[in-house]
Amino acid sequence: MNSQLKRGTLELCVLSVLSRRDCYGYELVNEISDCIHITEGTIYPLMKRLKDDGSITSYLVESREGPPRKYYSITDIGRVKLKEQLDEWNSFYASVNKILEKSI
């Protein structure tokens, strides 16, 4: 898979999943990896960016299966961002497909 394609969409995917329910990082990796390959080394820096810009908050929860889990929760700022990025994504792939269709 061309890893360049993922750029910009992983953030959208994370926000989208978090808009359904709170998740911890490792869980997000597994959830999203079903469709698009990612690893922890990709997700944690992304979560840090999202936290820094106020799109998400986090809280720790003890776990019996390993170290404490850091759950992430989407904020109102994050929901606004999600909506914007969703619109961008939809118009973007419509644009790409328009260019591609011309060549058939």
Contact residues for a second copy, defined by CB under 8 A: 1-9, 12-13, 16-17, 19-20, 32, 35-36, 85-86, 88-89, 92-93, 95-96, 98-100, 102-103
Segment lying near DNA (by CB under 7 A), choices 3-11, 78-86, 88-96:
3-11
Is residue 33 near DNA by the rule CB under 7 A?
A: no
What is the distance between the alpha carbons of residues 15 and 50, in angstroms, rounded to a whole number? Answer: 9
* Cβ-contact 46, 31 below 8 angstroms: no
41 touching DNA, by CB under 7 A: yes
Q: Which of 92, 84, 67 is nearest to 11 (CA)?
A: 84
Query: Over 30-69, what HEC string results?
Result: HHHHCCCCCCHHHHHHHHHHHHHCCCEEEEEECCCCCCCE
* Residue in 25, 50, 74, 78 binding DNA, rule: CB under 7 A: 25
Q: List contacts with DNA (CB under 7 A).
A: 3-4, 6-11, 24-27, 37-49, 63-71
